[in-house]
Chains A and B, each alone.
Chain A
């Protein structure tokens, strides 16, 4: 089984950060996706959280999530730039090479593609000194960008080496994005693939999607869209994607179950998934993560 390219996400698991890291490690995973809350909300403080992650031996798949960055103006934009900077600094401190930024839901955001492009270029520029790549993800309830092809359009227009898209199977399934549309994306610009399924056929309204996405996701292989998830994984693999896969499963039941039980479900999901992907080694980007760039002077 090729567990190397798959990671779990702390949002799937209950309990303190250290317990999550241990459970993921013990289930045989080599990496973990972290959220800012894991760090900022640690009872012993940020430094202790960072030390726990570094001591776990797990590679950090990525850091989430920067919300509502693109399309704002004036003081709202300035405010978001400050937030982005703080997140980039945390991301770097954790040794993560990927920051996930999801499409704006703000009613104050513009639908002007040129403005969104400019903002993502700025975000990518801010990330350069820290050696971080930006994965721009289309939330299926995003205000102006709610499907992957639209996110790719903006990313392609922005044309920055450290800016790409984050592919999330949940949003593709919920928005019913045609699988063929993925093929338009340059595989080198897919920064991260996040995988999850859910238990019902459709999530039509934005409200339904939000509710499903935040409470009722399940591991790939456990839901009703197994064929589509398998197709997505095979497709990006065939396109030449050799990056990481993260299991992004928000589920209210899983956060009240023993960690080992949930991590085992994750492991079984990977068993199912890994039969679908190439057995090539670690992605080149992942290999470089052993020593991230030195901290720029503050």
Chain B
């Protein structure tokens, strides 16, 4: 006789362990590079065969992809998640109804599997991040650069903001919950200076996704689904704002959005590129 015991689903079925890198696509890599350097990201390595650059700051890896048909205005084109077993994560996602990523999007020499995410973006699965880095194979590091540039004011990945169509938050909550094990934070629990939408916490409790629908009464507003901006965590937000201001970063300081102890928003450049600063202490969360 076979006994089928209905055990609860593991809360982190893919073993997600943070963000390995965020990828931007743009046909203006120099201009984006300039903005990133002001934000504290240092160019670290260049892809062996494609027009792809790796920038680093503290524990953050940021890839700028200019190969293929990239938009002029920088757009977040992928989130790479650290997982226990990338092959398993990929297979399980497809089994549950994810769309496999298009093969031509595989920019890395290493086979990094991925699935389609919001809009034109992808979600990659990376399992080699402990004793070996994926960049060691695909990228050429400049011997004169610091491979581990220190983060400004303790900046780290806090999360990614995603635009969703009206009344579509519930659909995307299902997507992240059932595919990746994210959970919805109770309503009213917000971080930063832009409190709106729905917050989803990663199963590793190390980063967040924020879903925002178009504001009501703005039916004519152009509102595509996709990844809008990244949130950078800082243990002391005002200190991070000051440090970045000294480097030339301009923050939005009018209306409801003001730099505060909760966070700040950088002024948009290059056709909409901005960063959100959110107070967060990764040491405390662990």
Question: CB within 8 Å of B: which residues of A?
Answer: 85, 121-126, 128-129, 131, 160-162, 284-285, 287-288, 290-298
- Listed by A's residue number, 11 A-B pairs whose Cβ atoms lie within 8 Å are A125-B96, A125-B175, A126-B99, A131-B165, A131-B171, A162-B170, A284-B167, A293-B224, A293-B225, A294-B119, A296-B116
Given A129-B116, A284-B167, A287-B219, are A296 and B174 also a contact pair (CB < 8 Å)?
A: no
B70 to nearest A CB, angstroms? 12
List, in ascending order, chain A residues with CB within 8 A of B170's CB: 161-162
Closest to B223 in A: A291
Instruction: Tell which of A123, A131, A290 touches B97, judged by Cβ atoms closer than 8 Å.
Output: A123
Q: How long is the Cα–Cα vector from A161 to B120 in the complex, in angstroms? A: 22
Closest to A120 in B: B97
Contact B224 A288 (CB under 8 A): no
Given A287-B219, A294-B120, are A126 and B174 also a contact pair (CB < 8 Å)?
A: no
Central interface residue in A131, A293, A298, by most chain B CB within 10 Å = A293
Chain B interface size band reads 20 to 34
List, in ascending order, chain A residues with CB within 8 A of B122's CB: 297
Q: How long is the Cα–Cα vector from A287 to B95 in the complex, in angstroms? A: 33
B178 at the interface (CB under 8 A from A): yes
Closest to B119 in A: A294
B102 at the interface (CB under 8 A from A): yes
List, in ascending order, chain A residues with CB within 8 A of B226's CB: 294
6 smallest A-B Cβ distances: which pairs? Answer: A125-B97, A161-B170, A122-B97, A293-B225, A294-B224, A288-B166
Q: How long is the Cα–Cα vector from A294 to B117 in the complex, in angstroms? A: 12
B168 at the interface (CB under 8 A from A): yes
Question: CB within 8 Å of A: which residues of B?
Answer: 95-99, 102, 105, 116-120, 122, 165-168, 170-175, 178-179, 219, 222-226
Instruction: Tell which of B102, B105, B172, B223 touches A128, judged by Cβ atoms closer than 8 Å.
Output: B172
A116 to nearest B CB, angstroms? 14
Q: How long is the Cα–Cα vector from A121 to B174 in the complex, in angstroms? A: 10
Q: Main SS of the interface on chain B?
A: loop
Q: How long is the Cα–Cα vector from A290 to B102 in the complex, in angstroms? A: 27
Q: How long is the Cα–Cα vector from A264 to B116 in the complex, in angstroms? A: 45
Contact A160 B174 (CB under 8 A): yes
Q: How long is the Cα–Cα vector from A263 to B281 in the complex, in angstroms? A: 65
Contact A161 B166 (CB under 8 A): no
Central interface residue in A122, A128, A288, A291, by most chain B CB within 10 Å = A128
Given A293-B119, A294-B120, A296-B116, are A128 and B171 also a contact pair (CB < 8 Å)?
A: yes
Q: How long is the Cα–Cα vector from A288 to B166 in the complex, in angstroms? A: 6
List, in ascending order, chain B residues with CB within 8 A of A128's CB: 171-172, 174-175
Given A125-B175, A125-B179, are A297 and B97 also a contact pair (CB < 8 Å)?
A: no
Contact B225 A297 (CB under 8 A): no
List, in ascending order, chain A residues with CB within 8 A of B171's CB: 128, 131, 161-162
Central interface residue in B95, B97, B168, B226, by most chain A CB within 10 Å = B97
Contact B116 A124 (CB under 8 A): no
Given A122-B97, A131-B165, A288-B167, are A297 and B102 also a contact pair (CB < 8 Å)?
A: yes
Contact B97 A126 (CB under 8 A): yes
A287 to nearest B CB, angstroms? 7
Q: How long is the Cα–Cα vector from A282 to B168 in the complex, in angstroms? A: 18
List, in ascending order, chain A residues with CB within 8 A of B102's CB: 297-298
Contact B99 A131 (CB under 8 A): no
Q: How long is the Cα–Cα vector from A122 to B93 in the complex, in angstroms? A: 10
Q: How long is the Cα–Cα vector from A29 to B179 in the complex, in angstroms? A: 40
List, in ascending order, chain B residues with CB within 8 A of A285's CB: 167
Closest to A297 in B: B120
List, in ascending order, chain B residues with CB within 8 A of A85's CB: 99
Closest to B120 in A: A297
Contact A121 B120 (CB under 8 A): no
List, in ascending order, chain B residues with CB within 8 A of A124's CB: 97, 174
Contact B168 A131 (CB under 8 A): yes
List, in ascending order, chain A residues with CB within 8 A of B118's CB: 129
Q: How long is the Cα–Cα vector from A85 to B105 in the complex, in angstroms? A: 19
List, in ascending order, chain A residues with CB within 8 A of B222's CB: 291
List, in ascending order, chain A residues with CB within 8 A of B223's CB: 291
